[in-house]
Structure 1
């Protein structure tokens, strides 16, 4: 089951790749799915929210916490 988080500032495929790559570097093996329209990223693989936050912010985007 994936955990879904809000991410601000993603506007294009390049943004999606940046977020995906950043999470992949900190959590190798995690399955990452970005939804640009919804402004969310879903992460599977038991990755801690703090790790996702660090990756998202490190890539230059705003981490909005867990999506409802």
Structure 2
């Protein structure tokens, strides 16, 4: 999946994680959608994704978007 540009994840009411984002070198956007009460969307996951983006060269960073149902 090296050419994947947008990663969409729906967390609903389940706790999940995202592993391997560092291998998605063409990623431009990560969209997280789910219930505001889901601990995953209120946890360190968002900070981890932002940190991964910041580790990349400026031209290869991605945006993290969180939408609550």
Q: TM-score, normalised by structure 1?
A: 0.32
Q: Which has the higher strand share?
A: 1
**Which of structures 1 and 2 has the bigger CA Rg?**
2
Larger RCO (alpha carbons 8 Å, 6+ apart): 1
